[in-house]
């Protein structure tokens, strides 16, 4: 059994150990040590990285009770020195313990229980058992503030195995699923045992945690969204908050430059730009309608029967143009078999007045397939597209012939 220094001394980044066995992990050689400070992946926390006897450690996993250190290259032997990647360990410690504080805050503020946790490379998430409607902006900010209050109070943290009698007196957020190791945050140190009244949070966990909550640095809730029947909350802690703040500032500066305004005026300028774009879109839609009416009038004047034509695509876009003209012809009681091309792709629009008549979705699918694409729709209106634009005239002619059969 490997002695787990990572659990008893999470601040330890350099240690000596003896290689006791060599296994394989993910197709790489993996060594087993008599003692290790490398944390193996588990409980939502990724594995540590670093060096073992100067050889890069690329993964650490616990398999059938053994801690396997997968290495890149020849596995070291004998007595070795292990060096943990300190920045990665500190980051994971901040995110993981920050999650404990945030989960405790959500329980306190909103009665929301954490059902899962993921520590990602950039963003962390917790899934809560309450819907977004029960966790509005005010409660999100309140939980964030409560978690940061625990950080700023720099409370003592205890992470160890507890006896059954001790566990019975702890106000656990959840029952232990594996082992009896519990992480306890309390207002007073455990001397000699915890007074339940001093416990702020107690949760079973096998991850790395700091001796005091202040090591987390800060907690920032980024956003919340519906996830199944509950809510997924994205957050970052510690130095990731600084990185997130920098990134938000950079994006704000880019937005301000694009909108030609001061950063503080971005929201107002963006709203104004959206309103102007909406107004222009309405004007464009009206222009499309007028142009389509005129084109439908011109095509309908050619004579009775189905209107078959390959249209020239104006600035409206080929698909929108064909659809608008087809609908305008339909409004005049005509059956339309139209096509238009744009950027090497042909677009089809078949339409007829509602009521009795041929099912246009069938010839449309055949025509689109002949263009190397696909399409579909209802019996009275169907559309599709394909890349073989040189066949547009041909597929429209075949579609018209098919209507008469």
Q: What is the DSSP string of 12-65?
A: --EEEEEEEEEEEETTEEEEEESEE-PPPSBTTBPPP-EEETTEEEEEEEEETT
User: Would you tell me how many other CB atoms lie within 10 Å of the CB of residue 51?
Assistant: 17
Protein fold of 292-403: Diaminopimelate Epimerase; Chain A, domain 1 (3.10.310)
* Ranges of each domain in the chain: 3-84, 90-246, 292-403
Residue 212 has a pLDDT of: 95
* CA–CA separation, 213 and 94 (whole Å): 9
User: Would you tell me how many other CB atoms lie within 10 Å of the CB of residue 151?
Assistant: 22
Longest dimension (CA), the chain: 99
Ranges of H-type helices in 172-265: 239-259
Say which CATH class 90-246 falls into.
alpha beta
Residue 314 has a pLDDT of: 65
pTM: 0.73
Give me the residue label for tokens 């109070």.
153
Assigned CATH for 3-84: 2.40.30.130
- Axis-axis angle for helices 361-370, 392-403 (nearest 10): 150
Residue 193 has a pLDDT of: 75
Contact 127, 116 (CB under 8 A): yes
Q: Which two tokens stand for residue 279?
A: 């107004």
Q: Which two tokens stand for residue 138?
A: 């005010």
Output the CA–CA distances (angstroms, integers) from residue 62 to 17, 45, 66, 126, in the order listed: 17, 13, 5, 24
Output the CA–CA distances (angstroms, integers) from residue 325 to 310, 321, 358, 401, in the order listed: 11, 6, 19, 21
Q: List, edge to edge, every strand of the sheet that includes 219-227.
A: 114-119, 124-128, 230-237, 219-227
* CA–CA separation, 200 and 202 (whole Å): 7
Strands 35-36 and 3-4: parallel
pLDDT along the chain (405 residues), means of 10: 91 96 95 97 93 96 94 95 97 96 96 95 96 95 97 95 89 84 88 82 93 97 96 98 94 92 91 90 88 92 91 81 94 94 92 92 94 94 94 93 76
Q: Which two tokens stand for residue 299?
A: 């095509």
Q: Taking Cα atoms as reference points, which of 206, 209, 205, 210 lies closest to residue 62?
A: 206
Q: What torsion do the CA atoms of 180, 181, 187, 191 make, to the nearest 10 degrees?
A: 80
Strands 50-52 and 55-63: antiparallel
């Amino acid at each position: 059994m490997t002695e787990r220094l990572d659990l008893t001394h999470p601040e330890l980044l350099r240690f000596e150990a003896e290689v006791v066995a060599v296994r394989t992990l993910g197709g790489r050689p993996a060594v087993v040590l008599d003692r290790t400070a490398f944390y193996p992946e588990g409980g939502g926390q990724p594995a540590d990285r670093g060096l073992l006897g100067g050889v890069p450690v690329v993964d650490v996993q616990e398999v059938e009770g053994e801690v396997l250190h997968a290495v890149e290259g020849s596995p070291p032997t004998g007595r070795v020195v292990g060096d943990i990647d300190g920045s990665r360990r500190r980051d994971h410690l901040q995110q993981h313990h920050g999650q404990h504080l945030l989960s405790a805050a959500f329980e306190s503020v909103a009665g929301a229980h954490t059902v899962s946790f993921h520590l990602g490379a950039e963003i962390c998430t917790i899934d809560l058992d309450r819907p977004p409607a029960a966790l509005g902006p005010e409660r999100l900010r309140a939980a964030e503030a409560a978690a940061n209050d625990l950080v700023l109070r720099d409370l003592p943290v205890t992470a160890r195995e507890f006896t059954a009698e001790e566990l019975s007196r702890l106000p656990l957020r959840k029952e232990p699923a594996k082992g009896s190791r519990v992480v306890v945050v309390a207002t007073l140190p455990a001397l000699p045992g915890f007074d339940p009244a001093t416990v702020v949070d107690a949760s079973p966990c096998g991850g790395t945690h700091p001796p005091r909550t202040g090591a987390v640095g800060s907690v920032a809730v980024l956003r919340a969204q519906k996830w199944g029947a509950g809510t997924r909350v994205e957050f970052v802690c510690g130095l990731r908050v600084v990185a997130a703040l920098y990134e938000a500032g950079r994006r704000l500066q880019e937005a301000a430059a694009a909108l030609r305004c001061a950063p503080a005026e971005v929201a107002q300028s963006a709203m104004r730009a959206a309103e102007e774009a909406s107004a222009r879109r309405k004007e464009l839609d009206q222009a499309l309608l007028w142009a389509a009416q005129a084109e439908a009038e011109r095509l309908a004047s050619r004579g009775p029967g189905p209107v078959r034509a390959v249209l020239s695509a104006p600035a409206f876009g080929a698909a929108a143009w064909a659809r608008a003209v087809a609908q305008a012809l339909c409004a005049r009681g005509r059956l339309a078999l139209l096509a238009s091309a744009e950027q090497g792709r042909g677009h089809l629009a078949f339409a007829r007045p509602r009521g009795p008549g041929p099912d246009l979705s069938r010839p449309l699918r055949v025509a689109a397939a002949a263009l190397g694409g696909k399409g579909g729709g209802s019996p009275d209106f169907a559309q599709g597209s394909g890349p073989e634009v040189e066949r547009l005239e041909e597929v429209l002619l075949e579609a018209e012939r098919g209507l008469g059969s």
